Amino acid sequence: MASPAGPEIERLIRLLARLPGLGPRSARRAALALVKRRESLLSPLAEAMAEVSDRVRICSVCGNADTSDPCAICADSTRDASILVVVADVSDLWALERAGAVQARYHVLGGVLSALDGVRPEDLNLPNLRARVADDGVREVILALNATVDGQTTAHYITSLLADLPVRITRLAHGVPVGGELDYLDDGTLTAAIRQRGDV
Amino acid sequence: MASPAGPEIERLIRLLARLPGLGPRSARRAALALVKRRESLLSPLAEAMAEVSDRVRICSVCGNADTSDPCAICADSTRDASILVVVADVSDLWALERAGAVQARYHVLGGVLSALDGVRPEDLNLPNLRARVADDGVREVILALNATVDGQTTAHYITSLLADLPVRITRLAHGVPVGGELDYLDDGTLTAAIRQRGDV
């Protein structure tokens, strides 16, 4: 393929195409939008990336991404340190924080066990989890993992990993999503919602 | 909305969300991918953007984006300067160059006329077009514009704009796309393909 755009722009396109959600064609469109809006978009974005690259670190305690290490959540003494929420990914931590679902500490695994993708226990942030639960006066571990096969496999693994420690292990409730319509839900969700029904 | 990701990352997400093809949710995913792959993706991308921002200019002759002004295409003396290909956007120029469709000069309008979007002739790179055609010894203007209502309106406008100049004005052929199946083509394309049929 000829390179009418010049090597600098072609390099930008190749790198943009590696972002999730962008393919080669949309990366080309994005690069063009950046070139066209150099002052309003390209320069600020280049600066924002350089700043994130310089300043953002992965928290050595929980695995969150923040400008400080330990991260703001780990350093927040107003949070309930006796509850540890285990999530697969930083995006799940962000989702729970956006929802304001819980004021506790987190532990980011960095993925879930997967036979298909070859993710083994030693590939995840698991040894550190056991150490934290054993040492830090944690009384409850909430397994906030996806309701997928891999997520639930990981939940089972963690449950047996922590079985000998004096800690309560809980998982997220299954049920009807808020705003959800029964007609569109799968059988497993409806069965779980009936089985875990509560008094009005 | 709470900002669990910190102000630097939130700013990066906001800027990424302004790229075409990325919404707020996919921008968040992209930002997370960048944070996770700082060495292999974030730093190179920040550098590539800074370099494009520093070096890429819009060619003052044709409107192409390149590191030199005039751009490499305008400066290429092996190209046929008597043919001028009018395109709406730099992306169209890139597409024609990738295809190697024509070895000529280009003129990028920077859009098409649109009553709906309020794009008027003075918003496009049109005065310059007339001057180029009048001065540069151009013998043929190829209107390589989209086969949309706005594209064809723009083609008509340019045809009348250049009517008094001694220049041949052509447009792209309509017909069956190479590899296309008749069954999936619209009536207009099929009619045009029959009407403009050629001998075998």
A43-95 tens-digit pLDDT: 999 999 999 988 888 899 999 998 888 999 999 999 998 999 999 999 899 88
Burial of A137 (0-12, 13-18, 19+ CB in 10 A): exposed
b/e sequence B98-107, b meaning 16+ C-beta within 10 Å? eeeeeebbbb
Q: For residues A80, A86, A90 and A96, what is the CA-based torsion angle, rounded to 10 degrees? A: -60
Count of C-beta atoms within a 10 Å radius of residue B4:
22
Which residue type occupies B181? E
- The answer to whether the beta carbons of residues B48 and A11 sit under 8 Å apart is yes
A108 close to B (CB below 8 A): no
Domains parsed from chain B with CATH numbers: 71-171 (3.40.1360.10)
Strand order across the B80-87 sheet:
B104-108, B80-87, B140-143, B168-171
| pLDDT tops 50 at residue B2 | no
Distance CA B95, CA B86 (A): 13
Instruction: State residue A3's pLDDT score.
Output: 57
B43 close to A (CB below 8 A): yes
A180-192 tens-digit pLDDT: 888 888 888 888 8
| pLDDT tops 80 at residue B79 | yes
The set of residues, in sequence order, having a beta carbon less than 8 Å from that of A137 and lying 6+ positions away, is A81, A82
Nearest residue, CB atoms, A53 vs list B15, B42, B67 = B42
B26-65 tens-digit pLDDT: 999 999 899 888 889 999 999 999 999 888 888 999 999 9
pLDDT category of residue B3 using cuts at 50, 70 and 90:
low
The set of residues, in sequence order, having a beta carbon less than 8 Å from that of A178 and lying 6+ positions away, is none
Instruction: State residue A36's pLDDT score.
Output: 85
Are A53 and B65 in contact (CB < 8 Å)? no
State percent of chain A over pLDDT 70: 98
Nearest residue, CB atoms, B94 vs list A4, A38, A53 = A4
The set of residues, in sequence order, having a beta carbon less than 8 Å from that of A151 and lying 6+ positions away, is A88, A112, A145
pLDDT mean across residues, chain B: 89
State percent of chain B over pLDDT 90: 52
DSSP state of B65: E
Q: How far apart, in Å, are the Cα atoms of B88 and each of B38, B48, B91, B108, B109? A: 37, 26, 8, 6, 5
Place of tokens 């013998």: B139
Mutation to test the A interface, candidates B1, B19, B57, most A Cβ within 10 Å:
B19
Place of tokens 């004005």: B169
Residue of chain B nearest A21, judged by CA positions: B26
pLDDT category of residue A2 using cuts at 50, 70 and 90:
very low
Instruction: Tell me if ipTM is over 0.85.
Output: no
Residue of chain B nearest A96, judged by CA positions: B4
Instruction: State residue B4's pLDDT score.
Output: 67
Distance CA B104, CA A118 (A): 52
Q: At what angle do helices A43-55 and B6-16 cross, to 10 degrees?
A: 150
Distance CA A1, CA A10 (A): 11
The β-bridge relationship of strands A80-87 and A104-108 is parallel
Are B100 and A2 in contact (CB < 8 Å)? yes
